[in-house]
Amino acid sequence: MLVTLYYAVGMWGFVFTPDAHGIPLVWPATGVGLAFVFLYGYWMLPAVGIAAALITWQFTLEVVPPLEAVGIVAATLMGVALGGHLLRRLIMRPRLDRLRDVWLFLSVGAVASSGLAALAGAWGMAVGLEEVRFTQTWWLCWVADLMGLVLVAPALISWLGAPVRLSRPVWIKAVVLTTGITGIAALVYSGVLPAGIAMPLSYAVFPLIMLAAVRCPVQITVTLTLIAGLIALSGTGWGLGPFVDMGLDESLLSLNAQLALLVLTGLVLNALSHEREAAEQRARHYLEDLARAGRLSTLGELSSSLAHELNQPLCALSSYAQACKRLLAQGKMDALQEALGQLDASAHRAAETVRQMRAFAAGQTPEQQPVSPRDLVHPVLELLRPELNRRHIPLTVHLPDALPRVSVVPLQVEQVLINLLRNAMDAVQGRSPARIDLQVASTRDGLTMIVTDTGPGIPPERLPRLFDPFATWKEGGLGLGLSISRSLIEAHGGQLTARNLPEGGAEFRFNLPLETHHANPNTPYSSRG
């Protein structure tokens, strides 16, 4: 396959030989050899040598002596071998999806492969023909090799080295772009248009190549540039198109410059597009890693929240269990029955806390229901009464009878009240006077609950970060209670605030809107501030 392809493109290259001494202006054979040696290794060199020898024997033996012809074949093999070695050693990707790969391919192709082949060809011609000057001949040979290499090698390397399965949309784009480029190139190089129109129209393929570079795989882009180059070179070689008025020598060199710019545009833009996509992919992976870390962090916060919220009913369970033991020992059956009822209620509260935590983890929205303020406050008082009595802390409750009902998740609002009252109990512990007030009032917009205490107040430097997660100054505190409380109230459409009272102590106030459409308690245990 390699011998056939190498020989075929070599014969095609000799179509464009305006020079009287047989120097072609386009020579794709070196690109074919470089592509196969890079992809499949040095064992392809014998096939390259056979094909190069056939081409040399058929087309140049009349003007190049046999010994010099052998030198040309040997130099061609050296250039191809060195180029393939460098591309492998420097790890060029066959996909050509990085700017580094593009510049590496162009540099190695221009210096190693094309440079050595051009040196050998120019040397052989200069030795065989006295009228041929080495410097001018080398320049023509180098341009021919390099132009053929950049047209043919990228297509072979990308299709053979990085095969890709094209989706239906990509196939459609490829067909449309191929049709457009083929039509434009055929029209420009058919000779039917005046040169003044055909010349600017020849640049109409550039936008299509640029579109392919950003929307299609590199295989499509390099194939389209190859098609455009083949049509342009063939038409110009037959004396058609806008470049022929310059003479075949100058016209093909001018066309080569345009095609080189076309190839460079396609390769560079395609590499930039792939590098951008790769950067976006890395960014997505980074964000996914951050999200995964965030979920782990949230899981830790939820675990802390669960421990915090279960601590209250579990403490109540312990208190009521101890009370039951004492009442049972004293034979007070009526009081024992009441304590057992409170024990059962605390157990249900703990179970409900776990149930809502599981519902939140599953993304379920807690169900709201219309509740009177009295039904919200009384369970809290019953739960905290044993601890209030044990710590000898008086609690005054201002709860008018004629208060509007609110649509809430009862357990969540109760958790907020319990947390605020327990904080107040800790604040007034050991102080004189020690007093806590709970006031429930109706406002124009809804219901307001206010908890005040006669404690030392909130340190001023703590106020700005009071509701941040894990912000606490209490020994043994997690710093989650106020953060959770604010999240719960805000999820209901309300607001939780705190301030120090002028006469001393602290005040915590939250409001609950009456309208149900404001509520969105979708984060019952969120600890986000």
Whole-number Å distance between alpha carbons of 379 and 504: 29
Q: What is the largest CA-CA distance in the chain?
A: 131
**Within this chain, do residues 269 and 380 fall inside the same structural domain, yes or no?**
no
Same domain (yes/no): 135, 242: yes
Percent of the chain with pLDDT over 90: 40
Tell whether 256 and 376 lie within a shared domain: no
pLDDT tens, position by position, 403-442: 888 989 888 888 889 889 989 999 999 888 899 999 999 9
Of 66-75, 315-324, 473-482, 494-503, the range with the lowest mean pLDDT is: 473-482
Residue 124 or residue 377, greater confidence: 377
Name the residue among 71, 55, 51, 74 with its Cα closest to residue 17: 55
Residue 279 CB-density burial (10 A; 0-12 exposed, 13-18 middle, 19+ buried)? exposed
If you average pLDDT over every residue of the chain, what do you get?
Answer: 83
Max avg pLDDT among 6-15, 64-73, 464-473: 6-15
Please say which residue of 287, 309, 340 terminates a domain. 287
Establish if 422 belongs to a structural domain: yes
Q: Is residue 351 part of a domain?
A: no
Residue 117 in any domain: the answer is yes
Residue type for position 412 = Q
Domain boundary among 287, 316, 346: 287
Who contacts 110 (Cβ-Cβ below 8 Å, separation ≥6)?
146
> How many Å apart are CA 186 and CA 221, to the nearest integer?
18
What is the phi/psi pair of residue 410, to 5°? -55, -45
CATH number at residue 515: 3.30.565.10
396 & 507 share domain: yes
Judgement on whether residues 381 and 258 belong to the same structural domain of the protein: no
346: tokens are: 């605390």
* pTM of the predicted protein model: 0.59
Same domain membership, residue 140 and residue 31: yes
Q: By mean pLDDT, which of 184-188, 210-214, 431-435 is the weakest?
A: 431-435
For residue 123, the surrounding DSSP H or E stretch is helix 114-128
Q: Which residues have a Cβ under 8 Å from the Cβ of 510 and sit 6 or more positions away?
A: 416, 448, 449, 485, 489, 494, 495, 496, 497
What is the residue whose two structure tokens read 């509701």?
Answer: 467
Tell me the C-alpha distance between 21 and 422, whole Å: 103
- Long-range contacts formed by 198-207: CB under 8 A, 24+ apart: 198/241, 198/242, 199/242, 202/232, 202/241, 202/242, 202/258, 203/258, 205/181, 205/262, 206/262, 206/265
Give the strand order in the sheet containing 506-513. 395-398, 436-442, 446-453, 506-513, 495-500
Does 331 reside within a domain?
Answer: no
Mark whether 95 and 213 lie in a shared domain.
Answer: yes
Q: By the 8 A CB rule, do 94 and 158 touch? A: yes
Q: Coil, helix or strand for 502?
A: coil
98 shares its domain with 203? yes
- Total number of domains constituting the chain: 2
**Scanning the structure block, which residue is given the tokens 């040399």?**
56
Range of the domain at 491: 370-529
Question: Measuring CA to CA, which residue among 136, 146, 76 is closest to residue 110?
Answer: 146
Q: Which of 41-50, 359-368, 490-499, 508-517 has the lowest mean pLDDT?
A: 359-368
Q: Is residue 319 part of a domain?
A: no
CA distances from 16 to 237, 327, 364, 430 (A): 6, 113, 74, 104
Percent of the chain whose pLDDT exceeds 70: 81
Report how far residue 29's alpha carbon sits from residue 2's, in angstroms, rounded to the nearest whole number.
10
> Is residue 61 located within the same domain as residue 173?
yes
Asked, for residue 217, whether it belongs to a domain, the answer is yes
In a domain, 298, yes or no: no
The last residue of one of the domains, among 287, 315, 336, is 287
DSSP count for the chain of H helices, then E strands = 16, 7
271 in Cβ contact with 102 (< 8 Å) = yes
pLDDT of 363 higher than 60: no
292 occurs within a structural domain: no
**C-alpha span between 487 and 340 (Å, rounded):** 33
Same domain (yes/no): 276, 411: no
Band (529; pLDDT cuts 50, 70, 90): very low
pLDDT tier, 524 (very low <50, low <70, confident <90, very high otherwise): very low
Torsion of CA 331, 334, 336, 337, to 10 degrees: 140
